[in-house]
Amino acid sequence: MAAILPRFDMLLFGGTGDLVTRKLLPALYRRHAEGQVCEDSRIYGIARSQLTRAEYIAQAEAACREFLGAEFDADTWTAFSRSLDYARVDAGTPTDFSALAAALADRAGLVRVFFFSTASTLFASISQNLAAAGLVTPLSRVVLEKPLGNDVASAELINHEVGLIFNEKQIYRIDHYLGKEAVQNLMALRFGNALFEPLWRRGLIKHVQITVAEELGVERRGQFYDNTGALRDMVQNHLLQLLCIMAMEPPASSDPDAVRDEKLKVLRALRPLRDRDVLTKTVRGQYRAGSVRGVAVPGYLDEADISPDSTTETFVALKVEIDTWRWAGVPFYLRTGKRLQDRLTELVVTFDDVPHPIFEKPASSEAANLLVIRLQPDESITLTILAKNPGEGMRLKPVSLSLDLGETFKTRSIDAYERLLMDTVKGNLTLFMRRDELDAAWRWIDPIRAGWQEFDEKPKSYIAGSWGPSAASALIGRDGFEWHDEP
């Protein structure tokens, strides 16, 4: 059982929104059920709606019942709900913050976590109003949910304004992929074993693929998504963070800044994709009607809150190069999309062929010399090697060494938000993005969008339930490779 944390206060701005009700409250419930959240901690939902505490708790209970399913337990809920409260606050109205300050007046000595799950355009005014009401103490932390800005300039401005109130050590920029057990395991695989390090480089690795595929469409977030698109919603953060963990140099320690320094070096070494590069090294896609797992689904343009002539991409594939000694000449192919065939997050490392083959080429077209690290839906590591086919002659065949981490450890792995929320209380910044990382990520992303605009690169349509537009297969095919699941 996890150690109980000293009492704390957590203030969830955007308290009636999707993230708080779908992810944060269930995560806090689970940590409470595990005994990590003491009874005297307080969790405030904060939003503009006129709600009483009882009404908010009823809403929160309904959400937790829905999202926790069989895990929900009425007695645990009753105990958890004693910590829950609600405050009606308008982000831009200073007087609304005074009531909050009065409620927390005798708790200034506790860790105080402000979680901003609102549009990032409100982050500055919420910070200023918190400070003006005297709510920001030396033990306060602020958690900034993505997307933080929508380009370099807007992200810089928000970081600057929030930085006037909170110092960098108090700012927790969330990328929930970093909180996933499987992503932590990738760090364990790379830096807990000497085995892989000598192989992890040019000359031994041919190419790397990172796929984050979703079956879901835009759900209830049409308006947000249509203004954002897959490049900013997924690549700027989750895919680049996965890429960093795959490609970074071993850090000198597991200290937050040691890890973040190494990730930053990767982001800064990404070869810019400028101008015409976008035509050869990127693919944009948008789903049309189709079926996912046998269920008919509408096209993107027919989803709620999507403009009927929208050119927002729901799919992106990229060829990425990292200009370092370790990675020069090794392409990284990144791909993400909504309404694809499967929910799948996977990293595939293809090792080089032997320099001088002495056996006949295997008859099977299946690839060998592959390391497949699957992060979702199940967590597994599979190494495909060539082995001798039993019988006469020396015929080789790909076979797999497979490790199912769920089976091996037989415990529920904790959800990303459970880990990240508790890290904010503990004051551990390792799994959060530093300001310079975020800046470097936007600096690499912005020219891609500019290139798409300059060359009027519209998204190519793909059928919902497929693996994306055929241009994505062509992108990797031009280099003589294919996506792992598309042989």
Q: Interface with ligand BG6 by CB under 6 A: which residues?
A: 214, 233, 376
Q: H or E segment at 289?
A: none
**Closer CB to ligand BG6, residue 84 or residue 239?**
239
Tokens read off for 366: 């299946």
Q: Which of 32, 176, 207, 238 is catalytic?
A: 238
Tokens read off for 146: 């993505």
**Closer CB to ligand BG6, residue 220 or residue 426?**
220
b/e burial code for range 389-427 (CB count within 10 A of at least 16 → b): eeeeeebbebeeeeeebeeeeeeebbbbbbbbbbbbbee
Q: State the CB neighbour count (10 A cutoff) for residue 384.
A: 20
- Report H helices in 324-462: 405-409, 416-426, 435-454
Name the nearest CA neighbour of 7 among 42, 43, 41.
41
Tokens read off for 374: 């699957």
- The length of the chain is 487
Tokens 């007695």, residue located: 75
Q: Is 311 helix (H, G, I), strand (E, B) or coil?
A: coil
Whether residue 238 lies in the annotated active site: yes
Q: State the CB neighbour count (10 A cutoff) for residue 49.
A: 12
**Closer CB to ligand BG6, residue 214 or residue 418?**
214
Tokens 């495909």, residue located: 384
Radius of gyration of the chain (CA): 24
**Closer CB to ligand BG6, residue 84 or residue 230?**
230
One-letter amino acid of 162: V
- In angstroms, what is the minimal distance from the CB of 214 to ligand BG6? 6
- In angstroms, what is the minimal distance from the CB of 457 to ligand BG6? 22
**Closer CB to ligand BG6, residue 181 or residue 214?**
214
Secondary structure tally for the chain: helices H, strands E: 17, 17
Q: Point out the residue whose Cβ comes nearest to ligand BG6.
A: 233
**Closer CB to ligand BG6, residue 51 or residue 292?**
292
Do 340 and 214 form a contact (C-beta atoms < 8 A)? yes
Active site residues: 238
